[in-house]
Amino acid sequence: MLSRNKIKYLQTLQNKKNRQEAQFFVVEGKKILIETLESDVLVEEIYCTEEFFHLCRCSQAKKTAPLLRV
């Protein structure tokens, strides 16, 4: 489960200024997430449902970011 502080932080990334300052962005959606995992982008964290967690495990195997279930 995500903490309130983490949820608030992720919500701040909706603002372009906050994304640029933090040098992070949020990827939403199955197709874009899978494309991101297959790219050279360093993935810090992934938040997903239990079902998506199982679909995504093989793509995640080659990355070092933790795959966090929500």
The 10s digit of each residue's pLDDT in 21-68 is 999 989 988 888 888 888 888 888 888 887 877 776 655 544 545 555
pTM reported for the whole predicted model: 0.64
pLDDT in tens, 17-34: 999 999 998 998 888 888
Q: Which of 17, 27, 1, 18 is nearest to 9 (CA)?
A: 18
The residues near 6 (Cβ < 8 Å, ≥ 6 apart) are none
63, 41 Cβ separation under 8 angstroms:
no
